[in-house]
Amino acid sequence: MSREFLPGIYWIQECGPNRTGIVESVVHGDGDWYIEGREIHIPQNAYLFVGERTLLFDTLSPASRRQIVSEVKATLGGRPLDYLVVSHPDTPHAANTFAILHEYPDATLVAPKVGSTHALYHLEDAMKVGPGDEIDLGGHLLRFHEATFLDAAISIWMTEENSNMLLPVDWLGLPHMDGECLKCADELESNITIDRLTEFHGRVFFWFQYVEVPKVVAEIDGLIRKFNPAIIAPAHGVVMRENCLQFMELIKPVVEKIHREGRIGVV
């Protein structure tokens, strides 16, 4: 499934069924956003930018190998894929890298510069980018940034400067219900709440239980000042195109909740 949510920017989404017991968690716990009887998805998102040149950011999971290749081919319509960016070498983000490069052998593979273990992930020959580096597609200016909240040492965030869009990869992810696939935050049937955000962050960023909360809150304030995004496009959530600062602020009590109550999904 894909959606052009801005001119020349396509959202490609994989919505596999719930695999992590989230339904049980929200039914028996904090399910203030959940409508009983609905299936819950934790999506995987990739984003395709089409200007004078083209770029794909992330590749979905192995379950969507055919989907991601066919969606890119259909959208490009015979045009080449010029760049393939892997945000970090984790299965939901990099699993289809070889399949896409097989289809587009002339595409430039782009990987985060930080770290020293690129060879473990077949990224040693990739074009390396770090904070401040840019790729100008002609119509879309992409800039790379330090990944502040991450789950792999080799990681990068990205912004699209013309639309003031932040792509924070795993950060700001959240589950959605069946029927909400490829819907933006303002189109969801129920609100994005602290509990909804905790269902994702309490699993992926479980290490929030060990942090000094005031320091993390200060870091979030710094991200708000630095980016002040008009649009947020996470890898495991929904595109946020309104009230973006409000959602970034909501992560503060999420961190406090995980710090207080511990990891989600572990008995």
CATH of the domain at 203: 3.60.15.10
Total-model pTM: 0.95
pLDDT of residue 265: 67
Residue 212 included in any domain: yes
Is residue 236 helix, strand or coil? coil
pLDDT over 90 for what percent of the chain? 81
Domain hosting 243: range is 2-261
Residue 146 included in any domain: yes
Helices (H), 77-212: 91-94, 97-103, 194-204
pLDDT of residue 264: 82
pLDDT of residue 23: 58
Stretches where the chain sits below pLDDT 50 are 20, 27-28, 267
Q: How many domains does the chain have?
A: 1
* Letter string b/e over residues 16-53, b meaning 16 or more CB atoms within 10 A of that residue's CB: eebeeebbebbeeebbebbeeebebbbbbbbbbbbbeb
pLDDT of residue 267: 46
Residue 267 included in any domain: no
pLDDT of residue 100: 98
